[in-house]
Structure 1
Amino acid sequence: MNITHGLRRALQINPNGLAIVCGERRRNWREVGDRVSRLASAIRGLGAGDGDRVAILSLNSDRYLELYLAAGWAGTVIVPLNIRWSLPENEDAMRDCRPGILFVDKGFAEVGAALAKAIPGLKLVYADDGDTPAGIESYETLIARSRPMADAMRGSGDLAGIFYTGGTTGRSKGVMLSHGNLMVNALNALGEGLFPGSAIYLHAAPMFHLANGAAMYSVLLSGGSNVVIRGFTPEGVAGAIQEERVTDVLLVPTMIQMFVDHPALASYDLSSLKNIIYGASPISDAVLSRAMKALPNVQFTQAYGMTELSPIATLLHWKEHIGEGRARGRHRAAGRATLGCEVKIVDGDDKVVSHGTVGEIAVRGDNVMIGYWERSEETARAVIDGWMHTGDGGYMDEDGFVYVVDRVKDMIISGGENVYSAEVENALAQHPAVAQCAVIGIPSERWGEQVHAVVVVKSGASATPDELMEFCKTLVAGYKCPRSVDITAAPLPLSGAGKVLKRELRKPFWNNRERDVS
C-alpha cells in the first residue's frame, strides 16, 4: 500500500462524495483526484523526479491536503516545514534535505522568497488565493496547464515524507517515514475504531504536524470527509463544528483547555461532535473534568507516540476515562499498545523490567521509521533490533497499560510541541553575557510544561531575564524560548563527569507531583 491508496479507493467507490471543505470551497473526490493528478504532473514538470523532495510552508488549507497526495502521486517525497520555526531553522532543514520546490501561502511568501534567495535553484510555488507575487509560480495556474498523470504507485518501502523534529544536539533531525509506515499507522487507527467512514474530520491542528497528518491518512482510507480551518482558535473550531456538522477532531490538551474554557462555547451547536482525539502531552485531571462537563456527549481518546512511530504507539480509549477505568486511575495512563505495535519497558542495559518498574519505553512494529535523514549513527542509537527507543521514561502495569512519568531524553513538551533543551541552550550561549546555562521544563497550568532557563553570567557582565528571552527569539522559534529565567552567580550543579545535573535544577518545581512531566 502507499499513501495514495485512499484517494484511489475513494475515486472508485465514492467519487461524488464530499472530500474536503475549506471556507467557501467544497470539492468531491472526483474533483480532488483530478487536481491531485494534475498537480503531480506539474511537480514532475518543475523537474522533480522519483524520491526528490518537495517542501511546503503554509497554514492549513485544502491545497495542503492536495499536496500531501500529489507528492506521493508524483513519486516524490513531501517535507512539511514547521510554521512556528524561525527563518534560520527552516533554512537549516531545507539545506539538510535539499528540496527543489517549495510551496508557500500568503503568510509565508516573504519567508519563501528569503529561502529562495539563500538556496540557489529553489523553485517557489504560491499556494493561496489572490494575486500571485512576482517571480513565483501559481499553484492554480500549474494545475490548469498540466495534464493528469497516472499514479507513480510507489512501493510500501519507498520514502514518503521527511518530518523534522528537534535535535538533542541542537540541530533538527529529519524523520524518514515510508509509504508503508504511514499506511500501517492509518490502518492501526481504523482497526481501533477511530475515524469511521461516516467521520467528518476537522483539521484544526497544524497540518505540518504528523499527528494531524496521520489522522488525514486514516480518514482517506475510511472514506470520510475533511473540513479545514487555517489554524486553531476556539471560535474557529466551534464555528466549523456547527456549520459543517463535524464529528471528529484531534486537539492537543492546551487546545482542549482553551476550547472548553471559552466563554461563548455554550452559544454554539456542538451536537454533531462525537470524538476528540488528544495527544502530544498528557492532559491534567482538571482540564479533562472540565472538558467532559462542557462536552457531555463527546468521547475522548488519548494517542501516545512520536513522529518516529508514524506516530501512534498506544491508545487510551474512552472507557478508561470514565467509570471503573477512572476509579482505577487508568485515565492517567497513555493507554495500551495499539494494533500492530509491541511495547516494552527496558533498563539501561536494554533488558525488560518487571511490571511497575520505571524504565525507557520502547516500541516495535511496521510503523517504526526508516531512520533519520543522513544520520545513520543517530538512527542506530534510536532503533535497536527493530525497537524504537522513545526517550520517555515510564512503567507498564500488569494489564499492559503504559504510564509516562519522565523523559530520558532532554526534552520538554510545551503546548504539544517538542522542545529540545540543547537547541535553546545553544541559542542562549550565543549571548555575550552568558557564561553557563541550562534549560529545563517546569510545570505550567496552561502549557503543561514551560521552558525555563537557569543562567550564570560572565564576571563583570550583566543581563536581565527579559533581555535573554528576547535574544532567544532572534535565533529560535518563539515556543522554544524561555518563558522564565533565573540568573544566578552560583555555578550550576555538575556530575562527576562534568554534566549539568538538571534533575537537581528541576526538583524544586516538581516536588510532590505524581510524575516529573506534564
Structure 2
Amino acid sequence: MQITHALRQSAQLTPDRVLTICGDRRRTAVQIVDRVARLAGALRSLGAGSGDRIGILSLNSDRYHEFLLAVPWADGVVNPVNVRWSAAEIAYSLTDCQTRILLVDDTFAPLVPRLRELTPELESVIYTGDGPAPEDTLDYETLIAGADPVPDAGRGGDDLFGIFYTGGTTGDPKGVMLSHRACLTSAMGSLVTTDLLARGGVLLHAAPMFHLADLAAWNIACLTGATHVMIPSFTVSGVIDAVQTHRVANALLVPTMIQLLVDAPEAADADLTSLTNIMYGASPISEALLARTMELLPNARLTQAYGMTELAPVATLLSNADHAVPELRRSCGRPAVHSDLRIVGADEQEVARNEVGEIVVRGDHVMTGYWNKPAETAAALRDGWMHTGDVGYMNDQGYVFVVDRIKDMIITGGENVYSVEVENVLAKHPAVAQAAVIGLPDDQWGERVHAVVVLAPGATVTPDEIQDFCRGHVANYKLPRSIAFVEALPVSGAGKILKRSLRDMTW
C-alpha cells in the first residue's frame, strides 16, 4: 500500500486527465508524474535521505499536492506544518522531528529568517510562490526544471508516511506518526462504508491541506482519480467561484464553513447545483444549520466523519440517509468498516449499549505512535486500542454519540485547542494568579475559547491586554475570545479545578 500508487495508476490509465486546478494552472496526470519525479530528484540532491522529514508551510495549492507525493517518492516523510501556528510553535515542530528541508509559499516566506534563527537544523528552504525567490531560499520551479527525474522509491505499507502535529495537554504539540497503510486503510474503508466520492469526480480543497480532515479527502480523491481544485483558504466568495467555474461535485468543510456559506447572501443567487457530496467533521451539525444547508444545496448528500489525527483520521461515518432521521443527527455515525470501536469503562471492559464510557478504537488505521514520546504513546495505545479521550455511548443500532471530552479539548472552527496549553500561557502573565480555560458555545465557531482568571493581589489588567500577551505565544485561533475575572476558581476536595462547575456558572 503506497500513497504514490494512485498517481502512477492515473498516469497509466488516464494520462491526459486534468488532476489539479489551481488558479490558471491545470496539470494532467502525466505532467504531475514528471514534476513529482523531478521534485523527488531535487530533494535527493539537497541531501534528503531515507526517512528524512521534509516540511511544508503553505496555504493550499497544486504544489502542496505535488509535495505530498514527491516526498514519499524520494523515500522521505512529510511534515505538514499548521499554518495557524506562531513562529515559536512552528519552530518547535520542525526541531522536534529534525526537519531539514522546508517548503514555504508567499504567505509564509517572511517568517523564514525567524524560523532559521529558531531552528538551526533547517538546512534548505524552498520557495513555492510565484514571484522571485527571496534571499536564502531556493526556487521551486527552478529546482524542478533542473532536476533529473528519479524512480519512485516504493515507500509504503508500514513505512512512515508523515508526522502530523496535534496539540498536547502538556502544552507541547505531539507528532502523530501515520504510516502509508494507516492513511490508505482509512481512505479505502471510508469509501466502502458510504458514498463519499464518485470515481473521476471533482474535489474542492477549501479546508487547510495540512489538516488530517482535508488530507483524508485528498487521499480518497487520489484513489478515485478525481480532479483536485485548490483555493488558498476558505472564503465564501472563493468557494462559490470555484464551484461555479469548475462544477465542483465534492467538498470537505467543517460546520463553521458550511454556516458561513449558507448564511452568505451571495450564495442564494449562485449556481451551486453541481455540489453533490459534502463531507464534514469536527462537530455535529445543528438542526437549524442542517435545514438551511438542505434548502441552499438540495442536491448535496451530507456525510459526517468522526475521528482524530491518531486514527488517520476516520473512526465513524454518519451517512446522508442517517441525516434524514432526526434522532440520529446528534450522532457521529457508526464505525466505518475498517474501524473496530467500542465503549469501555474504567476497567477497560466494554460497557452495555447506551451506557457512557470512553471511546476506544482499533485497526490498521491507528497511528504508529507519537514521535519521540514513548510515555504518551503507551498511555494512548493500550492493548492495541487507541484511547480517544472522548466520552460517549453506542445505541442499540450501533450509532455512536459523543457526550464529553475527557481531555477538555475545545473545538473552535474545526481546530482543536487544548485548554492546558492556553492556561500555561496565561499563567506566565504577571497579573494572573490562576486561570482556567473552557469552551463555550458559539454560534459562528461552534465553541469559543473562554478564560476564567483570578488576578494576583493588587494586580490590574484588561481583557485586551491579556489577549495581546497571549498573541505572542499561541496561534490566533487559540486566543481567549472572552475573559471573566473571578475571586476564586471552584475546586474539588483534592484541589482540582472543577471545570464542569465553571461551565455551568458561565452558561
TM-score range (shorter-chain normalised) is over 0.9
Instruction: After superposing the two structures, state which structure 1 stretch, 457-466 or 372-381, moved more.
Output: 457-466
Match of 1:487 among 479, 482, 485: 485
SS at match of 1:160: strand
SS at match of 1:157: coil
Matches within 5 A, 1:368-407: 368-407=366-405
Instruction: Report what 2:126 is aligned to.
Output: 125
- RMSD of Structure 2 on Structure 1 (CA): 1.0
SS at match of 1:315: strand
SS at match of 2:306: strand
Percent identity (aligned): 54
- How far has the Cα of 1:283 moved from its partner? 1.5
CA distance in 1, matches of 2:42, 2:486: 57
1:248 aligns with 2:250: yes
SS at match of 1:366: coil
CA distance in 1, matches of 2:75, 2:244: 38
- How far has the Cα of 1:169 moved from its partner? 0.6
Query: Is residue 38–residue 147 contact of structure 2 (8 Å, CA) maintained in 1?
Result: yes
1:505 aligns with 2:506: no
- How far has the Cα of 1:288 moved from its partner? 1.1
- How far has the Cα of 1:509 moved from its partner? 4.3
- How far has the Cα of 1:128 moved from its partner? 1.2
Question: What whole-Å deviation, never above 9, does each CA across 1:85-117 have from its counterpart, x for those lacking one?
Answer: 111111111111110001000110011231123
- How far has the Cα of 1:198 moved from its partner? 2.6
SS at match of 1:479: helix
Match of 2:420 among 419, 422, 429: 422
- How far has the Cα of 1:448 moved from its partner? 0.8
Instruction: Report what 1:113 is aligned to.
Output: 113
SS at match of 2:265: coil
Instruction: Report what 2:152 is aligned to.
Output: 151
CA distance in 1, matches of 2:384, 2:6: 28
SS at match of 2:315: strand
Question: What whole-Å deviation, never above 9, does each CA across 1:20-79 have from its counterpart, x for those lacking one?
Answer: 000000010000000000001111111110100000000000000000000110110000
Instruction: Report what 1:94 is aligned to.
Output: 94
SS at match of 1:106: coil
CA distance in 1, matches of 2:246, 2:153: 34
SS at match of 2:176: strand
Query: Is residue 199–residue 225 contact of structure 1 (8 Å, CA) maintained in 2?
Result: yes
Instruction: Report what 1:78 is aligned to.
Output: 78
Query: Is residue 246–residue 273 contact of structure 1 (8 Å, CA) maintained in 2?
Result: yes
Match of 2:295 among 272, 288, 293: 293
SS at match of 2:448: strand
Question: What whole-Å deviation, never above 9, does each CA across 1:493-514 have from its counterpart, x for those lacking one?
Answer: 222322211111111345xxxx
CA distance in 1, matches of 2:155, 2:72: 7
CA distance in 1, matches of 2:17, 2:62: 16
Match of 1:343 among 331, 341, 344: 341
Query: Is residue 372–residue 378 contact of structure 1 (8 Å, CA) maintained in 2?
Result: yes
Instruction: Report what 1:313 is aligned to.
Output: 315
CA distance in 1, matches of 2:349, 2:447: 30
Query: Is residue 104–residue 128 contact of structure 2 (8 Å, CA) maintained in 1?
Result: yes
Query: Which stretches of structure 1, 4 residues or more, deviate above 3 A after TM superposition?
Result: none
Query: Is residue 88–residue 118 contact of structure 2 (8 Å, CA) maintained in 1?
Result: no
* Residue type at the aligned position of 1:359: G
Match of 1:272 among 266, 271, 274: 274
SS at match of 2:329: helix
Q: What is the count of residue pairs matched by the alignment?
A: 505
* Residue type at the aligned position of 2:471: K
* Residue type at the aligned position of 2:246: E
- How far has the Cα of 1:118 moved from its partner? 2.5
Query: Is residue 9–residue 221 contact of structure 1 (8 Å, CA) maintained in 2?
Result: no
CA distance in 1, matches of 2:113, 2:33: 30
- In structure 1, runs of 5+ residues without a counterpart are 511-518
Match of 1:233 among 232, 235, 239: 235
TM-score (norm 1): 0.96
CA distance in 2, matches of 1:19, 1:155: 22
Instruction: Report what 1:181 is aligned to.
Output: 182
Query: Is residue 201–residue 250 contact of structure 2 (8 Å, CA) maintained in 1?
Result: yes
Query: Is residue 394–residue 402 contact of structure 1 (8 Å, CA) maintained in 2?
Result: yes
- How far has the Cα of 1:308 moved from its partner? 0.3
Matches within 5 A, 1:159-170: 159-170=160-171
Query: Is residue 465–residue 487 contact of structure 1 (8 Å, CA) maintained in 2?
Result: no
CA distance in 1, matches of 2:401, 2:119: 44
TM-score (norm 2): 0.98
Instruction: Report what 2:42 is aligned to.
Output: 42
Instruction: Report what 1:356 is aligned to.
Output: 354
* Residue type at the aligned position of 2:505: P
CA distance in 1, matches of 2:232, 2:128: 13
Question: What whole-Å deviation, never above 9, does each CA across 1:130-172 have from its counterpart, x for those lacking one?
Answer: 1111221000011001011000001311111000100101111
Query: Is residue 280–residue 413 contact of structure 1 (8 Å, CA) maintained in 2?
Result: yes
